[in-house]
Structure formats: C-alpha cells, structure tokens
Structure 1
Amino acid sequence: MAIPSLTLTDGHRIPQVGFGVFRVDPDQTERIVTDALEAGYRHIDTAALYGNEEGVGRALAASGIARDELFVTTKLWNDRQAGDEPLAAIDESLERLGLESVDLYLVHWPAPARGTYLNAWEKLVEIRDAGKARSIGVSNHLPEHIREIAAATGVTPAVDQIELHPAYQQRDVTDACAALGIRVEAWGPLGQGKYPLLEETPVVAAAAAHGVSPAQVVLRWHIQQGHIVFPKSTHPDRIRENLDVFGFALTSAEQDAITALDRGGSVSKHPSEVN
C-alpha cells in the first residue's frame, strides 16, 4: 500500500499517515509497533513523555526495515526546555530509540508559564544543525508562539502537531500554519473516543455510501484536508483498517458536511494550561 507523503518547509518529506503510540503500555509497545510495521506503517510518532521510546526502538530494530524507509518522530517534554536541557534530552531519546537521529523532533507544548519555549526552539535548531534531527517542529503551539519563535530565530517549524478532529478544527491555528507553509499534524484525529463522532449523521452516511467504517471516513476527511494523521489502536485488525483510507474519496458535499461539525469541542487541555 503506497502511503502519500507531503513536503515540509525544509524540503524533506513526511508520510501523511503515521502510527501514534500515545498511552500505549510500554510493555506492549514493541508488539503493537511491530503489528503496525507489518501492516505497512512506516511513520511512528512517540514522545519522551509516553515512556515507550524503548519499545518503539526495539520494534524498529527487529523489523529489518531499512532506516531510510522509516520516519520517526519524538518530542521534548516541558521540564526539559530550559538551558541546555534539550541537548541532553535528545541524546537520551536517541539512546532509548536506538537511533543516531530522528526524522522529526518536536517541542511538545509551549508551556507558557515556564517561559522557556523560545529557548527550547533555539536548542532544537542546534539539534537539527548537529544532525540529530532531520526536521524540527512544534506541537500544541498557538499562532503567537509560532510567530515569536520564527521571528527570533529565522527558522519556521516544519509542522505543528495539534488536537484536531471534526468537532475541534482550530481554524486560527491551521490558517496561521498555512500562511507560513507549516504542515498540520492532527493528534486525536478521531476525538479519542470522547464524544460520539463515529455516530454523527454525515460520518455514518458517508461510511454507508463508500462501504467503509466511520473511522475510515473521518481519517479520509483529514487526508483530504491535507492533515498528517496518527490513528492509534492496539488491535491488529483496526491498525490495518486505519491505514486503508486511500481506496475511496469523499465527495465535496460529504467533506463539507463533516467540516460543518466544528463546534469548538476540545477533548483536551488548552495549551496555556499545560506547563
């Protein structure tokens, strides 16, 4: 199965569908990531906070897949943003992953109360220049954070990974990213099961029309919006199903009906609250 890739601001390319391991039990991570790799995923998204980088690394090493066929993302946690801490944190993540470099390294949250996100970004530029991360970006950053770090360093993030699903589309953030050429990655693309997204009438109708599952419809909606997505599951059948979203296309009417579900329905915390 050919997974489309998108070009980042720095010229590197990123697979549009990846596999996320948020809240995946560290003891189960190797098995679950192995299932994902066997299903055809080549883009794995983890973070230091998740506590499962070692399991990801073991699965990658055991897969036999060439390093240049894999795209690996990890993230810098909030309490490592100050001083030279990001430089130590990336080395620790690389050791746990068993890699010499990652394809994408993100500042996990701006953590504005700490006042260190600009320093963190400056250090990520150093990390990129040292060859330890091919591309660098941010996660959960609002337009004001992005504009500040880009103005201060002259380096625009390659991506902003944000909470994004039909009920919560963050148009202010996505518009700002589009204006700067920043790719949007959607975490929680299915709303983390915290509201009945898969029972919404436009989703159910499109699923029936195309002979696919409601989850596949929502993932396809993301794809056609140009988002990069990380569906997460621990079940092999669903892992495969979530990747099988390229054999159909939503009509413009179906796409618009799902887009109309936006109601500011966040299922997580606001970036100003996570420090």
Structure 2
Amino acid sequence: MNMPALGIGTWQIRPETVEAIVPVALEAGFRHIDTAQIYRNEDAVGKAVAESGVARDEVFLTTKVWVDRYAPDDLLASVHESLERLQTDYVDLLLLHWPVFEGHGMNPTLEALMRARSDGLARHIGISNFNIDQTEQAVAFCGNGMLSASQVEYHVYLAQERLRCVLARYDLVMTAYMPLAQANCVNDPVLWEIGSQYDKTAPQVALRWLIEQDRVAAIPATSNPHHAKANIEIFDFALSVEDRQRIAELDRGMRLCKPEGLAPEWDD
C-alpha cells in the first residue's frame, strides 16, 4: 500500500472549512486526506479534491464506515453513498471506525469490508481503534495480507508499544490520529528544545518523530492554513538517535480519545 506518510485529517472540521483547507493542503504538497462518514464532511472533501486541479489518482483518500452501518448489506450501501459524496469510484483505504458490532458480530462485518475491496470500491481495507485482541481476531478471519492499516491514537505521550509490535508482525501500517495530542505538543519544552537544533517547531518535531518510524503515518487535523503548511515542512531534517530517545521518554500513557460506548478495553 503506497500511503503517503503524512496526511491531513478532517475530524471536527466543518464542511465549509474543509472546502477551504483541503486546497491549501494540496497546494502545499499533501496527497493524503482522511475523512469518515460520521465527520459529515465527505461532500466537502470530494468537492475540494475535484476542484483542486490535482488528479484523483494522485490523492490517497481514506474514509471510515460508521458503526450504525456495519450490517453487511448496509455496509456496502454506505460505501456507495460515501463514494457519491466523495465524487469518486473508489477510496484508497476503507476502515471500520470503531470495534462495535452489536448483534451481528465482527466476522460478517469484516466479510462485507472484504467484499467492498473485491468489488473495487476500496483499493485497501483496514481497521480503526481496535485493541490487540480485536486486531488479532480481524487478521485471523481476513487472512494475512488482506488488512493494510490500523488507525489509532498515537503521539509522543501515548507510546502504543505493544500494539505497534502486533501491527508490525502482521505488516499493517499504523496511522496516527491526534498526532499532536490535541495541541498538547505545542507547548512542550522538550520538543521546542529539540526543534531549536533544526530550526523547527515543537509540532514539527512531534510529527517528524512519528513518520521516521517504520510503517507509521500521521494525519494531523487543522483548520488553520498556516498550520497545514507548517505540518508538511518536516521532510528536510532528520532527528538524531539521542533526540528520538528523548522524545520516546515523553510517554505518559495519555489517551485522549476514549468515547463511552465505542472504545474497547485498551491494552495500555
């Protein structure tokens, strides 16, 4: 799966703002956009990409199926609806948003997800917010090589070491949402001190630390054009081994996204 290491997230961004920020991001060099059915901004993403002048096959599009559309027939119908909103025939990556399966269980939903791939609605498929046990169940059912990615909260304050090892074992890309820990990184003195050596900001250091890791991508969300441009300016420097270790030591198990009724029993 040829997923760009850095993408732009659209969680909690209003449609009109998405229409404004996506063209800025594409012009700055982003080629990876993440959305979801529940974000209610797929229309805006589709419109912005279509009007950007950037060819569709140059943009890696991810969307996520919401939990109320997990019944097998409904899942496929929901994907067709997403594609219509996104003004495209396929998405590059289709994810199950949360591991909440109610009465019909995980396997029928995974089977429908694989059907979306075999039908050409999605180039790649994956999971989101699954814990280790759920990840292993999903891989066991789908088979090695079928799932391509797992999108989870991951940042300098939440190490996710055990999950990262499991994902690496199954060759799944870890896509980090909230990679700046909802702006907690912005005021971190250690990140600023490290950044001063490279003429970079604390957020840029935090993002660089993520994408330097094998099979890790990051999707910072922003409604600020200046921040979008700054976020992608992280490919002209590399952190030293010592700096990477200092950043790793910032971990404090700080999980920010844990919605009641959706979140599984986490492993950390």
Fold shared, TM-score > 0.5 on shorter chain: yes
2:49 to 56, 60, 68: 60
Aligned to 2:212, what secondary structure does the other structure show? helix
Residues 62 and 187 of structure 1, relative CA distance in 2, 3 Å threshold: same
State the one-letter code of the partner of 2:160. Answer: Q
Residues 199 and 31 of structure 1, relative CA distance in 2, 3 Å threshold: closer
Cα deviation for residue 273 of structure 1 reads 4.0
Q: Could you tell which deviates more after superposition, 109-118 or 46-55?
A: 109-118
Cα deviation for residue 212 of structure 1 reads 0.8
State the one-letter code of the partner of 2:209. Answer: W
Gapped regions of structure 2 (runs ≥ 5): none
Aligned to 1:13, what secondary structure does the other structure show? coil
Task: Please name the residue that 1:133 is paired with.
Answer: 122
Residues 271 and 225 of structure 1, relative CA distance in 2, 3 Å threshold: farther
Task: Please name the residue that 2:186 is paired with.
Answer: 198
Identical aligned pairs, as a percentage? 37
Task: Please name the residue that 1:210 is paired with.
Answer: 198
1:141-200 CA-to-partner distances (Å, cap 9, x unmatched) read 11211211222232542000000011112112111001111110000000012xx43333
Cα deviation for residue 201 of structure 1 reads 3.3
Residues 115 and 207 of structure 1, relative CA distance in 2, 3 Å threshold: farther
In 2, Cα distance between equivalents of 1:176 and 1:158: 13
State the one-letter code of the partner of 1:108. Answer: H
Task: Please name the residue that 1:5 is paired with.
Answer: none
Task: Please name the residue that 2:95 is paired with.
Answer: 106
In 1, Cα distance between equivalents of 2:92 and 2:237: 29
Cα deviation for residue 93 of structure 1 reads 0.2
Cα deviation for residue 112 of structure 1 reads 5.3
Task: Please name the residue that 1:17 is paired with.
Answer: 6
- What TM-score comes out, normalization by structure 2 length? 0.93
1:225 to 213, 219, 223: 213
1:58-97 counterparts in 2 under 5 A? 58-97=47-86
Aligned to 1:55, what secondary structure does the other structure show? helix
Provide the aligned C-alpha RMSD in A.
Answer: 1.7
Q: Could you tell which deviates more after superposition, 148-157 or 231-240?
A: 148-157
State the one-letter code of the partner of 2:162. Answer: D
The answer to whether the Cα contact below 8 Å between 2:23 and 2:52 also exists between their aligned partners in 1 is yes
1:267 to 253, 256, 259: 256
1:99-143 CA-to-partner distances (Å, cap 9, x unmatched) read 000010000111155563322211110000000100001111112
Cα deviation for residue 235 of structure 1 reads 1.5
In 2, Cα distance between equivalents of 1:51 and 1:147: 30
In 1, Cα distance between equivalents of 2:103 and 2:167: 24
Task: Please name the residue that 2:171 is paired with.
Answer: 181
Q: Could you tell which deviates more after superposition, 27-36 or 256-265?
A: 27-36
- What TM-score comes out, normalization by structure 1 length? 0.90
Gapped regions of structure 1 (runs ≥ 5): 1-11
State the one-letter code of the partner of 2:221. Answer: K
In 1, Cα distance between equivalents of 2:193 and 2:173: 29
